[in-house]
Structure 1
Amino acid sequence: MLKVRTYPLGPIQTNCYIIKDGEGQCLIVDPGEEGSRIIEEIVKMNGKPLAILLTHAHFDHIGAVDQVRDHFSIPVYIHREEQYWLMNPDLNGSSRYPGLPLISNKAADHFLQEGQLKIGPFQFEARHTPGHSPGSVSFIFEDAHFAIVGDTLFKQSIGRTDLTGGDTNTLLNSIEGKLMSLPNDFIIYPGHGPSTTVGDERESNPFLK
């Protein structure tokens, strides 16, 4: 049985997720800020991190990548279309906001492609869901009936499309084709805000009517 823990981090309260199995092995998704807190939480739960997965490379999702990666000596996975965003503050958006630190990480270790992935005991699917950003990816855990979708879909909202590489029609096609095709009871864990379900969004999300 997988357990998903949610940690809203940093000034934008970006959701970092830790997915843990019964043996303590875990995946870290979007360590956006507060790297020391993420490390502390994993140590507290006796977690054994295997990898960092990135839904996309906007600054608020990648701010603690190197701190967490280096502490646990684990690889980072990102979609190839955003491989340079990790290192480039203009692409990841951190240069747009005076007063916030410029984010520049080391290169990713692996590039995500659509299809099934296996990392240790974790088996899941990566689905390319561009629109919010060109390399946005959603992680589908079919057996556990949940998906981590980054800033593609929110509770009664969708991701913004006015940043580099964003496109509204592409985003809506990604949601319809890659997320709304999931069963109604699938839990959706977004990049910000509370979780929801596919059925609730199909029924009440005003952007999907």
Structure 2
Amino acid sequence: MKWQQIPLGSLQTNCYIVENPDRSCLIFDPGSEGKKLIHLLNQRKLKPCAIFLTHAHFDHIGAVTEVREAFQIPVYIHKQEEKWLADPALNGSQLFMVQNPIKVNDADHIIKNEGAMEINDFAFSVFHTPGHSPGSLSYYFEQEGFVISGDALFQGSVGRTDLPGGNNSQLIKSIHDKLLNLPEDTYVLSGHGPVTTIGDEMDSNPFLNGF
């Protein structure tokens, strides 16, 4: 199994493609530039199985409709943000994209609980990591040694908490309880910016020092 980071849109939101040797794949956070993403997937002859969202902010959901329709695949989101997809006020597009607010049809599957998840030949764990937003999720691929953290944890930083439903103390607790307990060599695939590791963030992230 391997993964690929694809920055999309003006905010360079990281979309991740996780693929198996049979070329089946999962898509995480198709945030923008749907046609570009679809072309890349087709060019590589990948077979998408599902779209998983770390959270429902506009820059992480902007290409959901295009990609979902192109491959006829289901969308997964946490229960606390299931209404955000179709609500520009909640997903932030009303504030940041006044001319083109984003409205996405309801997700096919609502994630209500943490724990192990399997889809096709993919197996991973789902962590609820609120703070940046109330329904933020992280997806941990233990055997492969990486976690897709969305906008919870970045290289040298953490997610902003000044948007609706944000809570800084909750975010730091989520990172400490759910992410920093992972092996230090675990790769952190963040929603923006470069890949880092749990160990590097424990050692040098100024937002986590002293916690």
Question: What residue number does 2:35 align with?
Answer: 36
Amino acid in structure 2 at the alignment position of 1:31? P
Q: How does 1:18-57 map to 2 (within 5 A)?
A: 18-57=17-56
Amino acid in structure 2 at the alignment position of 1:101? N
Unaligned runs of 5+ in 1: none
Amino acid in structure 2 at the alignment position of 1:118? E
Q: How does 1:57-72 map to 2 (within 5 A)?
A: 57-72=56-71
Percent sequence identity is 52
**Mapped partners of 1:136, 1:153: distance in 2:** 11
State the TM-score, normalized to the length of structure 1. Answer: 0.98
Question: What residue number does 2:170 align with?
Answer: 170
Question: What residue number does 1:196 align with?
Answer: 196
Question: What residue number does 1:108 align with?
Answer: 107
Superposed displacement of residue 98, structure 1: 4.8
| 1:128 aligned onto 2:166 | no
Paired residue total: 208
State the TM-score, normalized to the length of structure 2. Answer: 0.97
Question: What residue number does 2:206 align with?
Answer: 206
**Matched residue SS, 1:207:** coil
**Mapped partners of 1:117, 1:100: distance in 2:** 38
Mean alpha-carbon deviation: is it higher for 89-98 or for 193-202?
89-98
Amino acid in structure 2 at the alignment position of 1:102? P
Superposed displacement of residue 100, structure 1: 5.0
**Matched residue SS, 2:135:** coil
Seen in structure 2, the aligned counterparts of structure 1 residues 98 and 48 have a Cα distance that, compared at 3 Å, is closer
**Mapped partners of 1:200, 1:184: distance in 2:** 8
**Mapped partners of 1:68, 1:82: distance in 2:** 20
Amino acid in structure 2 at the alignment position of 1:163? L
Seen in structure 2, the aligned counterparts of structure 1 residues 35 and 208 have a Cα distance that, compared at 3 Å, is same
Amino acid in structure 2 at the alignment position of 1:62? I
**Mapped partners of 1:50, 1:168: distance in 2:** 34
Question: What residue number does 2:118 align with?
Answer: 118
Q: How does 1:66-85 map to 2 (within 5 A)?
A: 66-85=65-84
**Mapped partners of 1:99, 1:105: distance in 2:** 16
Superposed CA offset, 1:35-87 (max 9, x none):
01111111111101000000000000000001100110000000000001000
Question: What residue number does 2:10 align with?
Answer: 11
Please say if residues 94 and 100 of structure 1, whose CA atoms lie closer than 8 Å, have aligned partners that are also in contact: no
**Mapped partners of 1:97, 1:8: distance in 2:** 19
User: Runs of 4+ in structure 1 displaced over 4 angstroms?
Assistant: none
Please say if residues 14 and 61 of structure 1, whose CA atoms lie closer than 8 Å, have aligned partners that are also in contact: yes
Unaligned runs of 5+ in 2: none
**Mapped partners of 2:3, 2:130: distance in 1:** 24
**Mapped partners of 1:54, 1:9: distance in 2:** 15
Superposed CA offset, 1:130-173 (max 9, x none):
00000000000000000000000000000000000000000000
**Matched residue SS, 1:78:** strand
